Every structure is written in structure tokens, then in C-alpha cells.
């Protein structure tokens, strides 16, 4: 039993690495099996299809990404500072592994079927996380108090994520492959981070 669990975990680990490096279409179950050191039938036994394997790999990460919305929402700070913390937090996640940005764009945003599944599972009213519910309540409270303009919480969150993702999409190519000086890269990313804070804050103020 333990050996079977180890093989299943290794399949998930290898599939994650290959999906991030080559994308879904560029990765075959044959290649995954070869890298794991098992036969292809085992992958189909555990996961049935490559699409199911894809979601088994990334669904927990997507869930964490939504649930982690709670992390920067320090109640001792005012709403604007919390929004800045959200920007810092998600910016930092993408900065740690720049493979995530093309993955999000190519495999989620540009794939209508996967985007619909993501939206239905994580953003629809009946399936929103407690973290998003809390964020939504905060936004509605600020609107009611007249401190920010009327905006849906999901639209605010999508605005934040779109701006952050765009930084890593349009960043100089050398930043992605490590050719640029690390200090130059840090200066560029820090400036863009602060620009995004300014754009978002000015955009929601009443």
C-alpha cells in the first residue's frame, strides 16, 4: 500500500514539473511515466485521463491560492493597507516561481473550459471560500461607509490579479531566463508592484 502511495505521489510531482515546464499539450502521459519510472498503464489506473491528472495536480494549489486571500487581511489595518498587502502577497507568489504566470495564462485563462471549471468551483456563490466571503464583506462594508466606490469584490480581485500577471508577461525576457542582473530585476519588479498599488487604490477611492 505504501509503495502504491509513493508511486502516486511521484506521478503527481513529476506531472506538476512537466506541466509547468512544457504546458499541458506539451506533456504526454508517456513522458510522465518514463520520468517516474513506471508504465503508462499505472498513470491511467490512478488518474484515468491526463485532464484529471492535471486537475489532481493543480486543484489543491488553486484552492490554496483562494484560501490564502485570508493571509494578508490583517484586521488591525485599514482597508487600503489590506489591499496593498493583498497585492504584495500575490505579487510575491508569482515572483517566487515565474513559471506560474505562463501556466495561469496558457492553461487557465486562455482555456475556456478550464476557466469555466475554475469559476464554477471557486468563484460561484455556492462554492466561494470562507476567505473570499470575508474579503467580499470587507469590500461591501467600505462601500456602505462611502470610503470606496461601488465595485464587486470579485472584480476588484480580478483587477489586482490581472495587473500582477501582466507584469510577469511583459517583463523583459532576460528576467525570465535569469540573464538580467538580479538587482535590475528586483528594481523593475519593485517599481511595478508600487505602480499597481497606486493604480488599484486610486481606482477604488470614492
Same domain, 137 and 67: yes
Same domain, 42 and 130: no
- Grouped pLDDT means (10 residues each) for the chain, 206 residues: 72 93 91 93 92 86 70 82 91 83 78 75 58 87 95 91 88 61 81 96 91
- Grid coordinates standing for 85? 498587502
Instruction: Using CA atoms of 203, 126, 89, 86 in order, give the dihedral in degrees to the nearest 10.
Output: 30
**According to the model, what pLDDT value does residue 12 have?**
94
Structural domain boundaries enclosing 130: 58-204
List phi, psi (to 5°) of 126.
Answer: -75, -10
Same domain, 26 and 93: no
The rounded Cα 170 to chain-centroid distance in angstroms is 17
Cα–Cα distance, 176 to 163 (Å, whole number) = 18
Nearest to 121 by CA among 47, 67, 44: 67
Instruction: State the first-to-last Cα distance of the chain, in angstroms, to the nearest integer.
Output: 59
Task: Count up the domains in the chain and report the number.
Answer: 2
Same domain, 69 and 7: no
Same domain, 94 and 128: yes
- Would residue 131 count as lying in a domain? yes
Q: Which CATH number belongs to the domain containing residue 119 in this structure? A: 1.10.357.10
**According to the model, what pLDDT value does residue 2 have?**
47
**According to the model, what pLDDT value does residue 45 have?**
92
Q: What is the pTM of this model?
A: 0.75
Taking only the tens place, the pLDDT of each residue in 126-147 is 445 677 888 889 999 999 999 9
Number of C-beta neighbours around residue 12 at 10 A? 19
- Grid coordinates standing for 10? 511521484
Same domain, 11 and 62: no
Q: Which residue has the cell 455556492?
A: 126
**According to the model, what pLDDT value does residue 179 have?**
62
Same domain, 62 and 44: no
Same domain, 68 and 127: yes
Q: Which CATH number belongs to the domain containing residue 30 in this structure? A: 1.10.10.60
Same domain, 96 and 33: no
Instruction: Using CA atoms of 112, 96, 86, 161 in order, give the dihedral in degrees to the nearest 10.
Output: -20
Same domain, 194 and 112: yes
- Would residue 101 count as lying in a domain? yes
- Would residue 53 count as lying in a domain? no
C-alpha dist (Å) from residue 51 to 43, 59, 105, 149: 12, 12, 17, 41
Amino acid at each position: 500500500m505504501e509503495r502504491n502511495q509513493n508511486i502516486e505521489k511521484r506521478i503527481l510531482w513529476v506531472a506538476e514539473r512537466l506541466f509547468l515546464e512544457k504546458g499541458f499539450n506539451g506533456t504526454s502521459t508517456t513522458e510522465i511515466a518514463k520520468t517516474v519510472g513506471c508504465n503508462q498503464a499505472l498513470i491511467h489506473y490512478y488518474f484515468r485521463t491526463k485532464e484529471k491528472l492535471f486537475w489532481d495536480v493543480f486543484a489543491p494549489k488553486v484552492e490554496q491560492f483562494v484560501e490564502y486571500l485570508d493571509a494578508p487581511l490583517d484586521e488591525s489595518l485599514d482597508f487600503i493597507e489590506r489591499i496593498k498587502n493583498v497585492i504584495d502577497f500575490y505579487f510575491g507568489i508569482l515572483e517566487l516561481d515565474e513559471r506560474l504566470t505562463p501556466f495561469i495564462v496558457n492553461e487557465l485563462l486562455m482555456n475556456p473550459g478550464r476557466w469555466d471549471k475554475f469559476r464554477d468551483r471557486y468563484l460561484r456563490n455556492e462554492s466561494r471560500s470562507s476567505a473570499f466571503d470575508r474579503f467580499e464583506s470587507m469590500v461591501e462594508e467600505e462601500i456602505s461607509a462611502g470610503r470606496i466606490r461601488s465595485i464587486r469584490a470579485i472584480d476588484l480581485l480580478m483587477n489586482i490579479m490581472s495587473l500582477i500577471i501582466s507584469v510577469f508577461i511583459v517583463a523583459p525576457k532576460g528576467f525570465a531566463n535569469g540573464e538580467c542582473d538580479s538587482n535590475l530585476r528586483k528594481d523593475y519588479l519593485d517599481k511595478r508592484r508600487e505602480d499597481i498599488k497606486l493604480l488599484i487604490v486610486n481606482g477604488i477611492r470614492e
